[in-house]
Each structure stands twice: as C-alpha cells, then as structure tokens.
Amino acid sequence: MAYAAILGYGTVGSGVAKVLTDNGAEIEKAAGEAVKLKYIVDVRSFPDDPNADKIISDFSVVENDAEVGIVAETIGGTGVAYEFTKRALLAGKSVVTSNKELVASRGRELLGIAAEKNVNYLFEASVGGGIPLLRPLTLCLGANRIEEIKGIVNGTTNYILTCMEKGGMSFEEALDTAQRLGYAERDPSADIEGKDACRKICILADLAFGREFDPEKVRTVGIGGIAAEDIKICSGFGARIKLIARTGQAEGKEYIFVEPHVVMPTCMLNGVSESFNAILVRGNAVGECMFYGRGAGSMPTASAVVGDMIDAVLHREKRRSIGWGAGNSDRISDGSELVSRWYVRSGERWELLDPCSRADTGDWDIKYRIMD
C-alpha cells in the first residue's frame, strides 16, 4: 500500500482525489499495489465533500508523516507550491505535479533536490494536460536525436481561435465567449499573451535538449493581434491560424519561440480545434509523430498526475532519472533565421512567400510563418 497526499483542493486536486477513488482497481493493477489518499492540504474547508475527513490545513503534518511517500502538488504558481514541493522532497517524498510555472522556472533545482534525496519529481501533467507526452518523449523516443517539437499547447487560445474561425467572431467576442464558458480565466493574459505556451515549450526543450531554457528570455507573441480578416483569408485555402510553440535544433543552435502560424490543411495540427492540444515531435529515427488530446481540465490533468503517482510507486527504490543541465543563452536563437514559407499582408494585399527567413520577408504589416 502506498500513501499519498494532495496539496491544493481546486480543479486539478479534486480531480486527482476523484481518479484515486473511482479508478482504484486500475491504479492498483498498474502500480502493483493500492494507492491510498491520506491527506488533502487546503486552507479552505469543504464540509460536505466526500473527502472532508482527509482535509487538513497544516502541511507539516504531511511533511512529518513517514507513511506518506507521494505528494501531488496541485496548488499552482511559484509561491507556497515551491516551498511545499521543496520541503516534501527534502523529507524524502516523491512529488508529482501539473504546475508548469514552477517546473519551467525551478525545475532544474527541484530535480536536483529529488536526485539528492533519491526520490522522484515528475510533471507529465505540466505540458499537454492528460496527453502522454513527456514520458514518451524521454523514454520511448530516447533513441532519437530530437530535431523539432512544435505544438498547440494552450487550450484557451485554441478555443478562441476556433470561435473566431468557425463563428466568425472578432477576438474580443471570442474571448468573451471563452470566458463565459469557462475556457478562459477572468484575467486571461497568461494565456492570450502566450506566456503559458512559453512555459510549456521551455519544459519540452529542457527535456529534449538536456539544458535549461528560461521562459523570460523566449520570444513570445500571443494571439491578441490576430485579425478576423487574416483568419478569413487563410480559411479560403483551407488553412487555420494557430498559436504554435516551437523549439528545435538547426546549425548547432537551439531555437525556441511562440508565435501564431498559418497551418495548412496538409499538417495534422490543422484539425486540432476547440480546447484540444497536439504536439508534433520529429526525431531523426522515428520521423514525425504526434500526441493529441485534452490539454487541460480536471479529469484529464488528474489522469496524468495519477499516472505519475503510479510511476513513483513503481520506481520507489530506483528513482527515474530525468534532468537537465544549466542554460547557455549564447546557443539559443529566437528562430528568426529559420527558413519557412510565409503568409504576409498589408491592407487588402496578401501573398504567400516562398521559403525565406524572417529577414527576407520584406515590409509587410502582418507576417505569419506557414506550417505544411
């Protein structure tokens, strides 16, 4: 029997509790032993909740309970989440999380502590929500040199772009719809400015290239400037405008950036609509493969968090080694020299340019890379 605690009983935390309860038999089969939820740490009270008896407000109870081997951090942010994660790892507990902000900014440090204490710090849920992605990338594709990763990793912006395209809405109308339906937060800036996508592509780059990428230094263009007109023009040739997070290796350098792309109908990402996520990975042996699914939401994210719990149980004695080295910003490019086809527009004039770098695109008001 493995004992677990959940930190933060919000959308993801409550999903984790539900999956542990509802799918106990499946989890026991996959992990080789039952995983029992012992505590939920939250400062709020939930009197009518089926797990009310497990809810405590003092994290140190978890920290000092040697029986608890696995902690799921679903608080979010880099404040108390960082403090509790560090303390849990130092107390010899494996930590699993969906917190991309913390992983992107402090992942290397926390993985270092986990390695020292011979426990696991796992974060499959931090990119692509429920989609199996980080483990396939590092393990199944471990025999590949990763050439490129590009994907739709933010469901909120993809939902807004889908509304603009299919519903003929302006950006403001689409954002309003997304907020009303719960796909966008009241303060949607981290999503629409591309910051959330940026954190996620940094985590993917960290794992693929084995060194730290700082989200603060990554060129990030959001979707706020996308005009309904460009979406309409592109749909005329079957293309869709998508916010793409992208990293890869070219000429001995790694590039990384987030910006809207014109995705042609020949590209599998073209069909990824609403709040779905999809990530294309190109390896030098496997060629191109894609991972698609729900990138957010209570149950899909919990699926990945509990998947990591299973992994932590399976590797209690033998820690799974994941890690990346220090960064070296000299070798990181913002992708502007990357050659691609371009969609360009000024006023009513638009063109599709032959493959060239950003430097050669000329003096147009709107410039989006084309993805085939």
- Residue ranges binding its own copies (CB under 8 A): 15, 19, 22-23, 26-27, 29-32, 124, 130-132, 135-136, 138-145, 210, 268, 270-272, 278, 283-294, 297, 299-300, 302-304, 306-307, 309-311, 314-315, 317-318, 320-321
Most distant CA atoms of the chain, gap in Å: 67
- Smallest separation, CB 58 to its own copies (Å): 28
By beta-carbon proximity to its own copies, the closer residue of 156 and 301 is 301
By beta-carbon proximity to its own copies, the closer residue of 234 and 313 is 313
C-alpha gyration radius of the chain: 21
The per-residue b/e assignment along 31-50, b for 16 or more CB within 10 angstroms, e otherwise, is beeebebbbbbbeeeeeeee
By beta-carbon proximity to its own copies, the closer residue of 204 and 310 is 310
Q: Report phi then psi at 165, rounded to 5.
A: -75, -55
Sign of torsion, CA 213 215 219 224? Answer: positive
By beta-carbon proximity to its own copies, the closer residue of 38 and 315 is 315
Q: Within the chain, how many helices (H) and strands (E) appear?
A: 12, 16
Q: DSSP secondary structure string, 224-281?
A: TT--HHHHHHHHTTT-EEEEEEEEEEETTEEEEEEEEEEE-TTSGGGG--TTEEEEEE
Alpha-carbon distances of 147 from 143, 150, 213, 247, 253, rounded to whole Å: 12, 10, 16, 9, 11
- Pair 293, 128: CB distance under 8 Å: yes
- Pair 98, 126: CB distance under 8 Å: yes
Q: Identify the CA nearest to 37 among candidates 21, 13, 58, 23.
A: 21
By beta-carbon proximity to its own copies, the closer residue of 79 and 238 is 238
By beta-carbon proximity to its own copies, the closer residue of 225 and 265 is 265
- Smallest separation, CB 83 to its own copies (Å): 27
Which pair of tokens denotes residue 369?
């890379």
- Smallest separation, CB 290 to its own copies (Å): 4
- Smallest separation, CB 170 to its own copies (Å): 25
- Smallest separation, CB 172 to its own copies (Å): 27
- Smallest separation, CB 67 to its own copies (Å): 21
By beta-carbon proximity to its own copies, the closer residue of 284 and 357 is 284
Residue with tokens 């880099």: 78
Count other Cβ atoms within 10 Å, centred on residue 148.
17
Q: Report phi then psi at 352, rounded to 5.
A: -105, 115
Which of the residues 93, 200, 232, 242 is marked catalytic? 200
Question: Catalytic: 217?
Answer: no
Distance CA 345, CA 368 (A): 9
- Smallest separation, CB 298 to its own copies (Å): 9
Angle at 295 between CA 290 and CA 296, to 5 degrees: 170
Distance CA 325, CA 313 (A): 26
* Catalytic residue positions, numbered: 200
